[in-house]
Chains A and B, each alone.
Chain A
Amino acid sequence: MTFLTYLISGLALGSVYAIIALGYTMVYGIAKMLNFAHGDIIMAGGYVAFFAFTKFGLPPVLSIILSIIFCTILGVVIERLAYKPLRQASSLSVLITAIGVSYFLQNSAQIMFGSDTKIFPALLTEGSLKLFNGQLTISYLTIITIVTCIIIMIGLTMFINKTKIGKAMRACAEDKGAAQLMGINVDTTISITFAIGSGLAAIAAVLLCSTYPSLSPTLGSMPGIKAFTAAVFGGIGSIPGALLGGLLLGVIENLTKAYISTQLSDAIVFAVLIIVLLIKPTGLLGKKENVKV
């Protein structure tokens, strides 16, 4: 039963990674860039939800919605100000800019909120479900996290495959020039991608901060890197890949912590990534880059 407990909490952690990984993977798929500041948008989302709830006394749902709105706007503004002017620049310049944005967000948070750790309130729920005469305990938060991830995955997959905008996004991911010849505004499409990725980051922020209730300006870094790893693991650019990569990473991390070593868990997680990439360089579900003729 303890194994099951670790497995389920690993799935919950993996669900959060998966939701964050979606932001990386969608932006990579469409804008062909690694948005290193994505983790720090999670941090911003955490602070907004925290202040909305504790300082302004908004109800949890409103606090979460406010956080989503804030992150969505933040993501779009960052893209417009920092990345859009670099559309024609080398990918190295874009990467360096993204790292710069990441530090800018962290330092701004430090100046505004201080570097001390704040305790994130129980926004969502407390308590847990007891199964098998109390042998298996699953917290409601775990259930909410996994269900949220499932809903997001289904919703996003339908959006991408069924709606006009979703199809335009896939067209941009495949061939921007041809998409423009269809009359698709590529800039708008990239903005929408950042908006969705950043909105999801806010949801991830609330789930993450509820699971590990401490808030600090650097809180997004580690989950950001892990989720990026998950995205690469699953195959960057692929939405099912983000899900698979996120879940696997969460489960591996949790089981390693439980049965091998807490200190070594991160090292083991990254070792697994390196092995997977050596065997399959495009990630588990990644497509071979189409060679342009």
Chain B
Amino acid sequence: MLKVNDLVVRYGMIEAIKGISFEVADSQIVTLIGANGAGKTTTMHTISGLLKPYSGSIFLDDKEISKVPPHKIVEMGIAQCPERRRVFASQSVEDNLFLGAYTRKDKTEINKDLENVYALFPRLLERKNQMAGTLSGGEQQMLAMGRALMAKPKIMLLDEPSMGLSPLLVKEIFDIIKDINSQGVTILLVEQNAKMALSIADKAYVIETGKIVMSGTGQELLNSDDIRKAYLGG
């Protein structure tokens, strides 16, 4: 269980997150939707420890993690697949995947998870020796997700996995997110593609300029008139 309480995050004097609270229950898919600049990535980075909150707290189960350094957060079971993928362009696909397992020492388990990632993304197996920088955008997205999975996370943070992908590929990626979730990984999904995100989410929060303005089950928000007008194009 991940719990964010009254979180405030600032960049210098600018308050990007203005006191948000939400929960991600175990084995659920929870989504955070919102427009450009709403503060979704800031929230993800703060959970991962790359940014420190100005105030508020973040609990993983019963541990406060808002002051824990990022590499320790990965060890505690939160892995992030960041916005724009950020694969290591000059390293091979397989080396990228092994970097995802950087904090782990269980060699045989790591190899088993590598098999699992290749089973989820057969295209990565075909390209395992290719430099990550030469992959297509869709393949890089698969690599970034596979790399996060290699950390064997309890919770996976996904920041706009559909960005820049064709509708067909978006559907494929969302099916895989459901697969990953059904393997027992809790998912916190940030999306601008509200329709897709809401359709797979157990719980959803709408964030607008640093504040949560609405929440409900995925289905509830899909049916809400306000959401339809603001995020689903009428």
Beyond A164-B102, A167-B99, A168-B102, whether A181 also contacts B90 by CB under 8 A is: no
Beyond A167-B99, A168-B102, whether A181 also contacts B91 by CB under 8 A is: no
What are 15 pairs between A and B in contact, CB < 8 Å? A164-B102, A168-B99, A171-B88, A174-B89, A174-B91, A175-B88, A177-B82, A180-B48, A180-B71, A181-B148, A182-B74, A182-B147, A183-B75, A183-B103, A186-B71
Interface pair A181/B70, CB less than 8 Å apart = yes
Please encode chain A, from 84 to 105, with 1 for each CB lying within 8 Å of some chain B CB and 0 for all others.
Answer: 0000000000000000000000
Q: Which residues of B contact A185 (CB under 8 A)?
A: 69, 71
Interface pair B147/A293, CB less than 8 Å apart = no
Beyond A164-B102, A183-B102, A185-B69, whether A177 also contacts B95 by CB under 8 A is: no
**Interface hits, A168-210 → B, CB 8 Å:** 168, 170-171, 174-175, 177-186
Interface pair B82/A182, CB less than 8 Å apart = no
A residues near B (Cβ < 8 Å) are 164, 167-168, 170-171, 174-175, 177-186, 290, 293
Whole-angstrom CA separation of A254 from B129 in the bound complex:
43
Interface pair B84/A167, CB less than 8 Å apart = no
Chain A, residue nearest B148 (CB): A181
Question: Which of B71, B75, B82, B95 interacts with A178 by CB under 8 Å?
Answer: B82
Q: Does B210 contact A (CB under 8 A)?
A: no
Whole-angstrom CA separation of A182 from B50 in the bound complex:
12
Question: Which of B84, B91, B102, B148 interacts with A170 by CB under 8 Å?
Answer: B91
Whole-angstrom CA separation of A47 from B69 in the bound complex:
39
Beyond A167-B95, A167-B98, A167-B99, whether A180 also contacts B89 by CB under 8 A is: no
What total of chain B residues lie within 8 Å of the partner, measured CB to CB? 28
Chain A, residue nearest B87 (CB): A178
Interface pair A181/B79, CB less than 8 Å apart = yes
Other 6 A-B pairs with CB < 8 A, given A178-B87, A180-B50, A181-B79: A167-B98, A174-B90, A178-B88, A182-B103, A182-B151, A186-B71
**Interface hits, B54-104 → A, CB 8 Å:** 69-71, 74-75, 79-80, 82, 84, 86-91, 95, 98-100, 102-103
Beyond A164-B102, A168-B99, A168-B102, whether A177 also contacts B50 by CB under 8 A is: yes
| Smallest CB separation, B97 vs chain A (Å) | 10
Whole-angstrom CA separation of A290 from B89 in the bound complex:
10
Whole-angstrom CA separation of A181 from B147 in the bound complex:
10
Interface pair B102/A182, CB less than 8 Å apart = yes
